[in-house]
C-alpha cells in the first residue's frame, strides 16, 4: 500500500507486476509504462523500505533507552541523540565535504550522535542529576544547545546549499535510493541481536540499579553500552531520514500495552510496530498535501505531541508513578 499510494496512484496489481518483473525478468507481461515502473521501483519502493528500517531502528532505541534510564519519556529525540546526528550530517554537507564518499554523512551523523550522548552523560554526572527524570531534562537541554550549534553551521554555510539541510531538520524519506538501504540494514543486523540477547538485563534495569547489580550486571558499563548502541543506530538513521521525533517514545509504550513489560517481547514487537508506523506516517506525508511532499517529521511530531500529552496525563492520573 505504501508503494501504491501517492500523488500518482499506482494499482497494487501493477506494483506486484513491477516487482515480479524486476526480481524475475519475463515472469509477467509488461503492461505498464516506463514512468509507472520508475515511480514504483526507483522512487517509492526504496522509500518504503527505508521508512521500515528507520521506524524499526528508532523504536528499538527508544525501548532500550526507556529501560536503562527507567524513564517512560526517554527516546533518542528527547535525549539529544537525534540532534547530534543531524548536526553531524549538516557539518558534513556544508563544511567538510564528502571526504569519505557516500559514507561521510552516516559516519559524521554517528559521530555527532555519539558526542551528544557523551555530553548528556557528562552533564548528568557534572550536575549530580542521577535520577531518570533529570537525565531526560539534561538531554533536552543538550538538544537545544546542539541545535543552536547546528543553526550556526547553517548560517555560516554556503547559502546556495543550505536548502539541502532542511531535509535533515524536518525529516524526510524523499531522497531514498537503493544504494542507501545497505547502511541502515547493516546497522540493524549488527545491533539488534545484541539488544535482543540483553533483554533479560534490560528487564533487570527497569527494576533498579541495585537489583541489576545483585544479578551480576555491570550497571554503569551496560548503560553506557546501550547509549553507544543507541547513538550508532540513531546516527545512521538520521543520516538518511533527518530528524524524526517521537517514534522512539510512542512505539515502546504501545508494544508494552499489547504484549506486557518483558523486553523479550517488547523489543521485537517494537521493531515491527515502528516499521509499520513510519510507513503509514510516510503515506500521510505524501497524501495530505499532494502533490507536495510534507516532511515526515511534521507528521510524527503532530502525532507524537498528542501522544506525549496523553502519556503525561495518564501518568498524572496514576499518581505520578
191-206 pLDDT per residue, tens: 999 999 999 999 999 9
Please report how the helices 45-69 and 263-287 are oriented relative to each other, as an axis angle in degrees rounded to 10: 140
Among candidates 11, 39, 41, 15, which has minimal Cα distance to 28?
A: 15
The answer to whether residue 295 sits within a structural domain is: yes
To the nearest whole number, what is the mean pLDDT of the chain? 85
The answer to the question of residue 6 being in a domain is no
Looking at the structure of the chain, the number of domains it has is: 1
Q: How far is CA 19 from the centre of its chain?
A: 27
Instruction: Report if residue 138 sits inside a domain.
Output: yes
- Is 50 exceeded by the pLDDT of residue 7? yes
**The pLDDT of residue 315 is above 80:** no
- Other Cβ atoms less than 10 A from the Cβ of 199: the count is 19
Alpha-carbon gap, residue 302 to 320, rounded angstroms: 24
Q: What is the pLDDT of residue 74?
A: 82
pLDDT value, residue 196: 96
Q: Is residue 195 part of a domain?
A: yes
Which of 72, 55, 51, 54 has its CA nearest to residue 63? 72
Within-domain flag for 7: no
pLDDT for the residue numbered 185: 95
Is residue 98 one of the residues assigned to a domain? Answer: yes
HSE-CB for 145 with a 13 A CA cutoff = 15
59 — pLDDT class (breaks 50, 70, 90) = very high
- CATH code, domain with 240: 1.10.3470.10
Distance CA 65, CA 113 (A): 14
Please tell me the distance from the alpha carbon of residue 316 to that of residue 144, in angstroms, as a whole number. Answer: 26
Q: Which tens digits make up the pLDDT trace of 154-171? A: 888 777 777 777 766 788
pLDDT band for 188, please (50, 70, 90 cuts).
very high
> Could you give the C-alpha distances from 12 to 1, 20, 96, 186, in angstroms and in order?
7, 12, 43, 29
Q: How confident is the model at residue 232 (pLDDT cuts 50, 70, 90)?
A: confident
Domain that holds residue 195: 12-317
Which phi-psi region, left, alpha or beta, contains residue 30 (left: φ > 0; alpha: ψ -120 to 50)? Answer: beta
Domain assignment present for residue 4? The answer is no
| DSSP code at position 99 | T
pLDDT digits (tens, 9 = 90+) for 127-157: 776 666 677 788 888 889 998 998 898 888 7
More confident residue, 3 or 98: 3
DSSP code for 93: I
pLDDT band at 24 (very low <50, low <70, confident <90, very high): confident
Amino acid at each position: 500500500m505504501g508503494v501504491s499510494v501517492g500523488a500518482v496512484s499506482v494499482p497494487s496489481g501493477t506494483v506486484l507486476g513491477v516487482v515480479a518483473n524486476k526480481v524475475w525478468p519475463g515472469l509477467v507481461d509488461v503492461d505498464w509504462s516506463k514512468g509507472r515502473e520508475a515511480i514504483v521501483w526507483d522512487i517509492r519502493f526504496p522509500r518504503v523500505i527505508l521508512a521500515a528500517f528507520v521506524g524499526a531502528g528508532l523504536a528499538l532505541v527508544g525501548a532500550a533507552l526507556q529501560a536503562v534510564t527507567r524513564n517512560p519519556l526517554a527516546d533518542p529525540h528527547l535525549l539529544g541523540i537525534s540532534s547530534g546526528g543531524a548536526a553531524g550530517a549538516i557539518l558534513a554537507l556544508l563544511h567538510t565535504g564528502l571526504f569519505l564518499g557516500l559514507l561521510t554523512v552516516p559516519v559524521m551523523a554517528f559521530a555527532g550522535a555519539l558526542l551528544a550522548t557523551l555530553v548528556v552523560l557528562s552533564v548528568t554526572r557534572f550536575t549530580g542529576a542521577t535520577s531518570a527524570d533529570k537525565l531526560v531534562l539534561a538531554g533536552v537541554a543538550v538538544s537545544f544547545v546542539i541545535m543552536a550549534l547546528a543553526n550556526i553551521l547553517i548560517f555560516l554555510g554556503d547559502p546556495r546549499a543550505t536548502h539541502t539541510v532542511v531535509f535533515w531538520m524536518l525529516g524526510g524519506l524523499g531522497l531514498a535510493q537503493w544504494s542507501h538501504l545497505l547502511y541502515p540494514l547493516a546497522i540493524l543486523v549488527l545491533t539488534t541481536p545484541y539488544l535482543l540477547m540483553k533483554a533479560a538485563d534490560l528487564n533487570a534495569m527497569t527494576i533498579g540499579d541495585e537489583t541489576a547489580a545483585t544479578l551480576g550486571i555491570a550497571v554503569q558499563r551496560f548503560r553506557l553500552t546501550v547509549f553507544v548502541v543507541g547513538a550508532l543506530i540513531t546516527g545512521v538513521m538520521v543520516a538518511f531520514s533527518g530528524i524524526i521525533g517521537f517514534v522512539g517514545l510512542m512505539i515502546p509504550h504501545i508494544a508494552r500495552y499489547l504484549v506486557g513489560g518483558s523486553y523479550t517481547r517488547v523489543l521485537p514487537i517494537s521493531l515491527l510496530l515502528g516499521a509499520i508506523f513510519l510507513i503509514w506516517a510516510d503515506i500521510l506525508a505524501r497524501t495530505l498535501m499532494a502533490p507536495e511532499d510534507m516532511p515526515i517529521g511534521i507528521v510524527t511530531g503532530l502525532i507524537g505531541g498528542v501522544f506525549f500529552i496523553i502519556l503525561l496525563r495518564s501518568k498524572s492520573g496514576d499518581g505520578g508513578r
